[in-house]
Chains A and B, each alone.
Chain A
């Protein structure tokens, strides 16, 4: 399992994460990221890490133990 973290202050609603992995990321009505899951299984780590790296303001982190 890997842990997904989001910095809600940094988030600008650019939405790259949601387009890349909408099973993990969403936006609320104010355009701030929402984590639909805080943990992702090993099989999803590469895909969710790519989604996190697509954030223009580096507001997302995927931590593998």
Chain B
């Protein structure tokens, strides 16, 4: 009998784990279980190109049936896992089938936090392809659009809607600035102005009281008694991990599946991606990283560990996230915002590009946000990933120095 690995969850973490098992030389059976019936797809484009209509479902497909066959991955789509028997090594599906495994990978991701103001027609969340398709249909009817929540998803939806020609877009957040969990007030203020410059009305620092349906549309009531008429509302207020199905498994759940440094929740049970909570050596404590790059990297390490169990690979959560808003790429690495001290470094085109560098009290570089300046991000991300501290001043000088590196002319 050849061994069997069951991967539960068919978004990027699950698909990449299945593929990486083969790349690592795993010769057992690989079964990939996905709740949705559509072919596995990539999620970052859902708030960008897919929503705008500039990329298609085919463009964002992660694994076609043919590619799965060729890689020896058995795809079970439209099948939701409902339980896990850790001692008996079985995954229970909601149609009653039980899948035996030698190793199992939990990659069920996260879902959009539902609207606390009711699920009225015209009120959307954005997490799945179906969500994106439904939202795109509504946005093509025009505005007004009210986006509640100025995190990554909300900010990207507002930017994409403007690009689609939606005239009347309002971005609302109870925090005084966008991306308030990740950025300080000064840097976030620059991004707030980016929205305003692109014609988005911003209502920061005011909460939402309720949403109601009236003849001809929706009304969003704010805490300051403003009423915003809307044809479409998007609620982008975070995500919650899909760990409910593991409630009776005996695994430790704490806003995600708690794992050790090897992404192990129990013997032969691993978790990957948004659903996994694991120790972060540089932050201290357990972290649930909700980022694409982290999921991809963790998929690789878990697959190697399953294929070569005698030399397990630890996973250090990857602190890197990007966001595309208007014509800018915003990139964050390491620890940013909060009470950390920061300096701003102008980019090659100071009107369009800058880096904000953050440091701990002793001047040690902690992390950065770069706007329109990917080269600076590389320097910052390498430094943020090192265990030995680099000083903020060192990074600032490296970014400010004339770059002897690759010139544009040489690249083309």
- A: residues with CB less than 8 A from B are 8, 12-16, 18-19, 22, 26-32, 34, 36, 46, 49-50, 53-54, 56
- 8 residue pairs bridging A and B, Cβ less than 8 Å apart: A12-B329, A15-B381, A16-B320, A28-B406, A31-B329, A34-B410, A36-B406, A50-B300
Nearest neighbor of A11 in chain B, beta-carbon distance? B374
Measured between alpha carbons, how far is A31 from B322 in the docked complex, in Å? 13
**B314 interfacial contact with A, CB 8 Å:** no
Interface string of B305-344 (1 = CB under 8 A from A): 0000000000000001010100001010000000000000
- Determine if B296 and A31 form an interchain contact, defined as CB atoms under 8 angstroms apart: no
Most buried by B among A18, A19, A29, A32: A29
Nearest neighbor of A49 in chain B, beta-carbon distance? B23
Measured between alpha carbons, how far is A28 from B372 in the docked complex, in Å? 12
**Sample of 15 more A-B contacts, CB < 8 Å, known A16-B293, A26-B378, A26-B406:** A8-B411, A8-B412, A12-B329, A13-B329, A14-B293, A15-B331, A22-B382, A27-B378, A28-B407, A28-B411, A34-B406, A54-B293, A56-B42, A56-B44, A56-B292
Residues of B within 8 A of A26 (CB): 378, 405-406
Residues of B within 8 A of A29 (CB): 348, 375, 403, 407-408
Q: Quick one: which of B25-81 are within 8 Å of A by CB?
A: 42, 44
Residues of B within 8 A of A14 (CB): 293, 322, 329, 331, 374
Residues of A within 8 A of B151 (CB): none
Measured between alpha carbons, how far is A19 from B412 in the docked complex, in Å? 21
Q: How far is the CB of A42 from chain B (nearest CB, A)?
A: 15
Most buried by B among A15, A27, A34: A15
B interface residues, how many (CB within 8 angstroms)? 32
- Determine if A34 and B411 form an interchain contact, defined as CB atoms under 8 angstroms apart: yes
Nearest neighbor of B24 in chain A, beta-carbon distance? A46
- Determine if A19 and B406 form an interchain contact, defined as CB atoms under 8 angstroms apart: no
Residues of B within 8 A of A19 (CB): 320, 378, 381-382, 385
Nearest neighbor of B324 in chain A, beta-carbon distance? A12
Among B378, B407, B411, point to the contact of A15 (Cβ < 8 A).
Answer: B378
Residues of A within 8 A of B16 (CB): 53
Measured between alpha carbons, how far is A44 from B374 in the docked complex, in Å? 25
Measured between alpha carbons, how far is A28 from B42 in the docked complex, in Å? 27
- Determine if B373 and A31 form an interchain contact, defined as CB atoms under 8 angstroms apart: yes
Among B377, B378, B408, point to the contact of A30 (Cβ < 8 A).
Answer: B408
Residues of B within 8 A of A30 (CB): 408
Residues of A within 8 A of B412 (CB): 8
**B297 interfacial contact with A, CB 8 Å:** yes
Measured between alpha carbons, how far is A54 from B405 in the docked complex, in Å? 23
Nearest neighbor of B296 in chain A, beta-carbon distance? A54
- Determine if A18 and B324 form an interchain contact, defined as CB atoms under 8 angstroms apart: no
Q: How far is the CB of B398 from chain A (nearest CB, A)?
A: 14
Q: Quick one: which of B286-311 are within 8 Å of A by CB?
A: 292-293, 296-297, 300
Measured between alpha carbons, how far is A4 from B23 in the docked complex, in Å? 18
Q: How far is the CB of A15 from chain B (nearest CB, A)?
A: 5
Residues of A within 8 A of B411 (CB): 8, 28, 32, 34
Q: How far is the CB of A2 from chain B (nearest CB, A)?
A: 14
Q: How far is the CB of B166 from chain A (nearest CB, A)?
A: 23
Among A16, A27, A49, point to the contact of B375 (Cβ < 8 A).
Answer: A27
- Determine if B377 and A15 form an interchain contact, defined as CB atoms under 8 angstroms apart: yes
